[in-house]
Amino acid sequence: MSDKSLHRYPLQLDEDWHVHSTYSDGKGTLEENLSAAEAAGLTLLCFVEHVRKDSDWLDAYIKHCAHLRQGSPLEIKIGVEAKFQDEFGTLDCPELTDEIDYVFAADHRVPLGMSCYCPKDVKQWIEQGMITKERVILGIVNATCAAMKRYKNIVIAHLFSILPKLGILIEEVRLEHLMRIAECARETNTPIEVDERWCAPDIRTASFLYLQGVQLVASTDSHISRRIGKYHHVANVHSALSRFSKMHSSQTVDARFHIQADNDAKETLVPAA
Ligand SMILES: [Zn+2]
Ligand SMILES: [Zn+2]
Q: Which CATH number goes with the domain that contains 44?
A: 3.20.20.140
Q: Considering every ligand atom shown, identify the ligand nearest to the alpha carbon of residue 50 and give its number.
A: 2
Domain range for residue 87? 15-271
Neighbours of ion ligand 2 (CB under 5 A): 81, 221
**pLDDT at residue 244, as a whole number:** 78
Residue 10: asked if its preceding bond is cis (omega within 30°), the reply is: yes
Q: Considering every ligand atom shown, identify the ligand nearest to the alpha carbon of residue 198 and give its number.
A: 1
59 in a structural domain: yes
**pLDDT at residue 273, as a whole number:** 34
**pLDDT at residue 142, as a whole number:** 98
**pLDDT at residue 247, as a whole number:** 61
2 in a structural domain: no
239 in a structural domain: yes
Q: Is the pTM of this model over 0.85?
A: yes
**pLDDT at residue 251, as a whole number:** 47
Mean pLDDT split into 10-residue runs, the chain, 273 residues: 51 96 97 98 98 94 96 96 97 92 97 98 98 98 98 96 98 97 97 98 96 95 98 96 66 41 38 38
**pLDDT at residue 8, as a whole number:** 54
Give the residue from 16, 156, 169 showing the smallest Cα distance to 89: 156
**pLDDT at residue 264, as a whole number:** 36
Tally the domains of the chain: 1
**pLDDT at residue 174, as a whole number:** 97
259 in a structural domain: yes
227 in a structural domain: yes
Distance from residue 144's CA to the centre of ligand 1 (Å): 14
Query: What residues contact residue 95 under an 8 Å CB cut-off, 6+ apart?
Result: none
31 in a structural domain: yes
Q: How far apart are CA 204 and CA 237, in angstroms?
A: 9
3 in a structural domain: no
6 in a structural domain: no
